[in-house]
Every structure is written in C-alpha cells, then in structure tokens.
Amino acid sequence: MRKIFAFLTLLLLLFSTTAGASDYKAWLPLLPDTLGGMPRSGEPEGVNMEMGGQKWSSLHQEYSTDSGKNSVGLTIVWGKGSPQLAAFQMMSGMKIETEDQIVKTVSVSRYKGLVTLEKKEKSGALMISLSEKMLVVIEAEPITSEAELLKLAEQLPLAKFAGQAE
C-alpha cells in the first residue's frame, strides 16, 4: 500500500510540475518590476490555449516611461504549437542585413537568440529560446543596436524562466 501511495504521490508531483510549466500564472512572480529602468505599465496579460491537440501559454508585460516615448514589451511563451516558437524556428540561423533591417542569430548567456532591428523605425526584438518548448521575446522602442537588446536580456531571470520549461 505504501508503494502505491508513494507512486501516486510521485505521479501527482510530476503532473503538477508539468502543469505549472504550461500555465502562465506560474511565471507571474518571475516578472521583473522594472526593465531597462522602466516600471511596469499596466497589468500583465496571460493566456493558456488549447486547440487541435496543441497546447501553449503566453504572458505579456509592458514597461514604459511616464511619457510613453520609451517602451519595452516582455513576452514569455511555452508550447511547441505556439506561433511565436514556430516563427523562431523558421527564422533561426537566418542572417539578413539591408538598409532598413538587420536579422541575425546571437548567443544570450547559454541560450540561442534571434535579433531583429528595424533601423528607420528604431525598434527591435530579441527572441531567446530557453528550450524546444519555451521562448522569451523582448521588443523595444526606440532601440538602435543589438547591444541594447542584449543588455535588456541580462536583466531577466532567464535561468528561472527556463526552469519553468522543464
């Protein structure tokens, strides 16, 4: 009887860990209060989705100055079926440089990332793959360099986010 109880307890713990990884509410305590020196702007927006046998979750938080001229968006995505993860996988390894845009693969800590800079709009995004199921996206405006995006990524608890992907 004890073996069955121990086995059921282990299954329950494993299930709850998996469920937590796919539930955006588990990431709420990990959101930084400030990003790029800017405080949170509004409440975080999250969603847990299931469609056609696919399951994914997303959490988004905006950060901005009082004037709203500078802003950073932080999005955490979990699930192989998520559109953001599909876009990252499709663009991964891509390198483009034009008069208007730069797209290239970068390293962020020990993770693979993809930088996109829109030169004329002075905006950019950094997608960071934490696992085959988890992605963090930073979007900033105004921004003019890869270094600025990487500096924002350094302020995030990427290892803690990645721990949620397990």
Q: What is the pLDDT along the chain (166 residues), one digit of tens a residue?
A: 333 333 333 333 333 333 445 789 999 999 999 999 999 999 999 999 888 888 889 999 999 998 878 999 999 999 887 778 778 888 888 899 999 999 999 999 999 999 999 999 999 999 999 988 899 999 999 999 999 999 999 999 999 998 876 5
CATH number of 2-165: 3.40.1000
Q: How distant, in Å, are the alpha carbons of 20, 38, 69 from that of 66?
A: 34, 9, 8
State the DSSP string of 4-68: HHHHHHHHHHHHHHHHHHT-GGGGGGGS-SEETTEEEEEEEEEEEEEETTEEEEEEEEEEE-TTS
| Domain residue ranges of the chain, discontinuous segments joined by + | 2-165
109: left (phi over 0), alpha (psi -120 to 50) or beta: left
Indicate the DSSP class of residue 102.
Answer: E
pTM of the predicted model, to two decimals?
0.82
